[in-house]
Amino acid sequence: MNKTSIVTRADIIIISIAILILPWLYLHFWGDGSQGEIARIQVANQTPRLIPLHRSQRYPIDGPLGTSIIEVQNGRIRFIESPCRNKLCIHSGWLQRDAEFAACLPNLISITIAGRNPRFDSINF
Amino acid sequence: MNTSKPLHLRTSRDDHRIAALAALAIAIHLIEAALPSPIPGVKPGLANVITLVVLFMYGWRDAAWVSLLRVFAGSLLVGSFLTPTFVLSLAGACSSLAILGLAWHMNPLLQRLGLKQGLGPVGLSVLGACAHMTGQIITARLLIIPHDGLFHLLPLLITAAVLFGIVSGIITQLILIQLRPNQ
């Protein structure tokens, strides 16, 4: 081995492959590829309600505190009105990609973007 | 029961060497654990420099011992033994050891294919770091956060892994040059 060499040719090949894979990772996981089709709205312990994202519409959803209004527009969904105090749900903004999530804990309403066939009904921790 | 004779464990020179090197790795691990990180889950992983140096000087078996001892003893000292942090750390160490073993034993093949020097510390370090991150994310997805949103972190984490992998690899090579000056 050359005394001063820090990287070998095989090292450079590995680093190049790694650097080439990075943009693909960003495109695949951060790009718009995984657009959601259906939003699942859950209120307290009720059965989840499924809402298609292709039809722009506003949905009033009743929770224990009052009525939250959820808006669907151009394949996206968000909270636009909520009786809760800190409005974290509204500040979550638009959800559109698969598995994105927003919740209003005071009013016990949550929205998840789901694929056509969700693999589980709920998660317990 | 005979209590007059103390129990003697036979230790070989190999054991002593592995223990000393593992102690070094644990010390680096502890110092790193005390430093704050800007992004949770991202840290330089400089303890892996020791694993790589051991890999090059004494082979994969010793490297595996040093790495796993570091995970177990390090977690006992930090206080994270058997917590999710420990599980992730162990998963990362196992994945990276698996890839390092594979690549290490592929080296003769690479050399026959014309890459005369085979994979050096930098290449192995990048491979190990990426395997470490991927193993951790998959384990976290399976055991801790069963939600696909977790994979949104993957690009950032792999970027960090590649960068820190290159840095650790260069440090390893500099140490190896110091340790084996006539090679």
Q: Is B158 near chain A, with CB under 8 Å?
A: yes
Q: Is B88 near chain A, with CB under 8 Å?
A: no
Across residues B161-179, what is the average pLDDT?
94
A117 φ/ψ sector (left φ>0, alpha ψ -120 to 50, else beta)? beta
Is A46 a member of any domain?
A: yes
Is A75 a member of any domain?
A: yes
Contact between residue B87 and residue B168 where contact means Cβ atoms under 8 Å apart: no
Is A82 a member of any domain?
A: yes
Q: Please tell me the predicted confidence (pLDDT) of residue B183.
A: 52
What's domain B13-179's architecture? Orthogonal Bundle (1.10)
Q: Please tell me the predicted confidence (pLDDT) of residue B124.
A: 95
User: Residue A72: which CATH number?
Assistant: 2.60.320.10
What residue ranges of chain A have pLDDT lower than 50? 1-3
Is A22 a member of any domain?
A: no
A86 φ/ψ sector (left φ>0, alpha ψ -120 to 50, else beta)? alpha
Q: Which residues of B touch A6 (CB under 8 A)?
A: 120, 122, 170, 173-174
Q: How far is CA A3 from CA B120, B124, B180, in A?
A: 13, 19, 9
Share of chain B above pLDDT 90, in %: 66
Nearest chain B CA: its distance from A121 CA (Å): 12
Give the structural domain span for A49: 38-114
Q: Domain extents for chain B?
A: 13-179
How many domains is chain A partitioned into structurally?
Answer: 1
Q: Please tell me the predicted confidence (pLDDT) of residue B127.
A: 96
Q: Do B170 and A6 touch (CB under 8 A)?
A: yes
Q: Do A9 and B119 touch (CB under 8 A)?
A: no
Q: How far is CA A38 from CA A17, B67, B96, B131, in A?
A: 36, 45, 38, 34
Contact between residue A75 and residue A38 where contact means Cβ atoms under 8 Å apart: no
ipTM above 0.85 for this complex? no
Nearest chain B CA: its distance from A99 CA (Å): 6
Q: Is B170 near chain A, with CB under 8 Å?
A: yes
Is A19 a member of any domain?
A: no
Contact between residue B55 and residue B100 where contact means Cβ atoms under 8 Å apart: yes
Q: Please tell me the predicted confidence (pLDDT) of residue A32.
A: 58
Is A94 a member of any domain?
A: yes
Q: Is B155 near chain A, with CB under 8 Å?
A: yes
Q: Which residues of B touch A30 (CB under 8 A)?
A: 152, 155
Tokens 């890999």 locate to B55
CA-to-CA distance for A98 and A112, rounded, in angstroms?
8
